[in-house]
Amino acid sequence: MPDLKADLKRWQETALKRTLDRSPERKQAFTTDSGIPVKALYTPLDNPESDYQQQIGFPGEFPYTRGVYPSMYRGQLWTMRQYAGFGAAEETNRRFRYLLERGSTGLSIAFDLPTQLGLDSDDPLAEGSVGRVGVAVDTLADMETIFQGIPLDRVSTSMTINATAPILLAMYIAVGEQQGVAQTQLTGTTQNDILKEFIARGTYIFPPEPSLKLALDIVEYCLGNVPRWNTMNIAGYHIREAGADAVQELAFTLADAITYIERARERGLAVDEFAPRLSYSLGCFRDIFEEVAKYRAARRLFARIMKERFGAKDPRSYLFRTFSGSCGSTLVSQQPLNNIVRVAMHALMGVLGGHQAIHTACWDEGYAIPSESAAQIALRTQQILAHESGLANTTDPLAGSYYVESLTNEIEKRARAYLERIDAMGGMLEAIESGFISREIQESSIRYQKSVDSGEKIIVGLNKFQEQETDQGAAAMDLFQADPAVEGRQKAALSAVRAKRSQEEVASALSELAAVISRNENVMPVVIRAVKAYATVGEITGVMRSAWGEYRSPAYI
């Protein structure tokens, strides 16, 4: 046998050339969805097997390319974590029970924008937004209702909350206590990733420095008190949704993580104490191989950073544990039932990528808050993949694919190059404040849109294979309709709570909070005291606003 390199050359110059001379390839150049060049064929030459132990290794061992745990889905399937929350607390409670009864294994709460921004439901700025994109929470009473009949020692709850995360976590702790569940037993996650709010999602309140302080207060408090809590879910998902490509998504997520870890160390926390409680989130976009390679590269690059840069010793600090979810921006409003297929592909990428928890989007979410039937299909999609497809029978089944391994290496290399640029600027906070990150994302976003305009990127039903439709899809849909009465009911409930509580205790807790802030101490204990006194989200945030002021981020267009 000739050696492989010579043999490949022979094939390219004979068999392949003859075919291409007769009929050329469909396109001039093939790339991944993020623009990484893709060759016609990958062979062992692209990934020498001698690198196996160094680059790929075994699941649950450094560098974790193949997965964070040794047995992965053969031991335990991923958590099917569906995102829900809307209207008032009673409705969210009903949706949660609906999901739990149907086999959902983790809860994920969406809060409305006033709650995320520290505004009470009766704040004039909240008008029109109460209970719209998530559930409205003003006081502990709302949180009590959300979890009525749901024992907190038997579910894990993920909360998409950032600027006001300390308040919502405090409420969760208080509800647990009422149910007789100690905070040491609570499991779940606070997103608590404020940096990506500045660059992508927009629900920041305070300037970057005090925002980081609050985020780290949760990390520090949970260390001794809520040891099983995932204190942060450092998210690339939103960065991707804002227009970043796969490499930027990964690089910026890791740059955010590096910043938090550095800040925690500056507080005197040891990396091996807090790093095991950090979790991560990446999106599921369109290109299956690119996404799987991104997840594999993420695990490996992160483990290397933790070891090389931070000197972490505890293997748990190396684990890039992830929650991944359908990128809503890949869904299409035209011929909306096709989204069921797209979401199935998201779940496929997630499972092949070895995530710990997966969210699948609902096909109708481009129109409104998902209907119950669409929510059921989204969950069933994951169950079909888990139980009918054979996907979960072995670990990291795409490992060893010449293409996927090569793409994994390429994504790691490109993400590392970004991290070096960010370091050279003085770190992620500087890169954000200088507008570098926003501009990079904006340029990718525009490039993407232009390739859709030109038809180079095909979106079925949108720029190709269109139907003449007078929105027949939407008309046929059993669309969820937000109840316009929610806002009024929520306001009434809030004034009832305000009237009933001890005003002295609220005032005393709030003035202690102001004192704690001025002494630059951890706010968690006093925030817990304040929520137990039924102080509102707006009142607690108000104390912080007077201390730190509000931030307005410049916009780059």
Partner 1 sequence: MNDVGNRKIRVLLAKVGLDGHDRGIKTVARYLADAGMEVIFTGIRSTPEQIVDAAVEEDVDVVGLSFLGGDHMTLAPRVIDGLRRRGLQALIVLGGIIPQRDIPALEQTGAARVFLPGTPPDRIVQFIRGSLEQN
Binding site for partner 1 (CB under 8 A): 113-114, 116-117, 119, 125-129, 132-133, 197, 201-203, 241-243, 329, 332-334, 366-369, 442, 445-446, 449, 452-453, 462-463, 471, 474-475, 479, 482, 552-557
| Chain position carrying tokens 């520290």 | 118
Q: Please, which residue, 133 or 181, has the CB nearer to partner 1?
A: 133
Q: Tell me the one-letter amino acid at 84.
A: A
Backbone angles phi and psi of 59, in degrees to 5:
-60, 140
- Nearest distance in Å: CB 414, partner 1: 22
Q: Please, which residue, 11 or 556, has the CB nearer to partner 1?
A: 556
What is the token pair recorded at 447?
């490039």
DSSP-derived 3-state class of residue 135: strand
Alpha helices in 32-139 (DSSP H): 72-75, 89-101, 113-116
User: Could you tell me if 363 and 480 are in contact, meaning their C-beta atoms sit under 8 angstroms apart?
Assistant: no
Residue 466: CB atoms within 10 A of its CB come to 11
Residue 509 DSSP class: H
In angstroms, rounded to a whole number, what is the distance separating the alpha carbons of residues 199 and 91?
32
In angstroms, rounded to a whole number, what is the distance separating the alpha carbons of residues 437 and 430?
10
Q: Please, which residue, 7 or 453, has the CB nearer to partner 1?
A: 453
Angle, vertex CA 218, rays to CA 127 and CA 269, nearest 5: 155
Length of the chain: 557
User: Could you tell me if 300 and 269 are in contact, meaning their C-beta atoms sit under 8 angstroms apart?
Assistant: no
Q: Please, which residue, 258 or 378, has the CB nearer to partner 1?
A: 378
- Nearest distance in Å: CB 154, partner 1: 32
Residue 37 DSSP class: B
Q: Please, which residue, 391 or 459, has the CB nearer to partner 1?
A: 459
- Nearest distance in Å: CB 442, partner 1: 6
How much of the chain is helix, strand and coil, in % rounded to 5?
A: 55, 10, 35
In angstroms, rounded to a whole number, what is the distance separating the alpha carbons of residues 242 and 260?
21
Backbone angles phi and psi of 90, in degrees to 5:
-60, -40
| Chain position carrying tokens 């909360």 | 159
- Nearest distance in Å: CB 358, partner 1: 23
- Which residues have C-beta within 8 Å of that of residue 60, sequence separation ≥ 6? 67, 68, 69, 70, 71
C-alpha distances in angstroms, 328 versus 114, 333, 380, 451? 22, 11, 18, 19
- Nearest distance in Å: CB 445, partner 1: 6
- Nearest distance in Å: CB 371, partner 1: 13
- Nearest distance in Å: CB 242, partner 1: 5
Q: Please, which residue, 197 or 405, has the CB nearer to partner 1?
A: 197
Q: Please, which residue, 111 or 260, has the CB nearer to partner 1?
A: 111
- Nearest distance in Å: CB 166, partner 1: 20
Q: Please, which residue, 184 or 449, has the CB nearer to partner 1?
A: 449
Q: Please, which residue, 114 or 210, has the CB nearer to partner 1?
A: 114
- Nearest distance in Å: CB 446, partner 1: 5
- Nearest distance in Å: CB 308, partner 1: 34
Residue 371 DSSP class: P
- The distance from CA 435 to its chain's CA centroid, rounded to whole angstroms, is 22
What is the token pair recorded at 293?
């390679």
- Nearest distance in Å: CB 279, partner 1: 23
Helix 288-308 with 246-266: angle, nearest 10 deg: 20
User: Could you tell me if 166 and 207 are in contact, meaning their C-beta atoms sit under 8 angstroms apart?
Assistant: no
Q: Please, which residue, 228 or 439, has the CB nearer to partner 1?
A: 439
In angstroms, rounded to a whole number, what is the distance separating the alpha carbons of residues 46 and 402?
7
Q: Please, which residue, 329 or 401, has the CB nearer to partner 1?
A: 329
Q: Please, which residue, 1 or 555, has the CB nearer to partner 1?
A: 555
Closest CA to 152 of 110, 106, 191: 106
CB burial of 67-76 (b: ≥16 within 10 Å; e: otherwise) equals bbbeebbeee
- Nearest distance in Å: CB 253, partner 1: 17
